[in-house]
Amino acid sequence: MKIEHTIMDLAQQVGNLLEAETDTTDMECLIKKNRTVTIELHDKSFDCTLEHDISFRNLKSDGSAMNEADIYLLPEEVPLFTQALQQYPIALPTEFEQSIDSNPNIVCLRLTTEEPPENFAARLAAALRQID
C-alpha cells in the first residue's frame, strides 16, 4: 500500500532527524530515543538513562499525522527546552497540546501535535540539542 510505504519513508526520515531507532507497525511509528542525565540528590549524584517515547500515527493524505512525545527533562532544563520549541522556524501548529508531570528530580513533558511528522521531529530534535 502507498500509505504504508509513506509511513516507512517518514519513519526513516524522523529517525534520522532524532538520531533514534524506529519501529513501524501498520499505521504507527514508534521512536525510541534514550538520554542519560546526572541527577543531583542531596550530596550524591547518579546517572540515569531516560527513554523518551515519541510516535506518530494516523497519517493523512495531506502529510499530517497525530504526533506525540513524552520527553523527560531535569527541572532546570524545562525553560530552555520549551523556549527552543517556541522559537523553532516552523511555528507550532494550532493543533498543539502540552502537559507536564513532575517529581522533584524529573519532569515529563508530554507534547501532542497534528502536523507533518518531519516538522514535529525537526522541532523536537532542535529543542533536544539545546539541552544536550
| Predicted pLDDT of residue 17 | 95
**Rg of the chain in Å (alpha carbons):** 15
pTM assigned to the model: 0.89
In sequence order, the β-bridge partners of residue 112 are 68, 97
Task: Enumerate the domain spans of the chain.
Answer: 7-129
Distance from C-alpha of 51 to C-alpha of 46, rounded to nearest angstrom: 16
Locus of grid cell 507497525: 25
Residue 5 has pLDDT above 70, yes or no: no
Tell me what the mean pLDDT of segment 87-96 comes to: 91
Residue 76 has pLDDT above 80, yes or no: yes
| Predicted pLDDT of residue 95 | 86
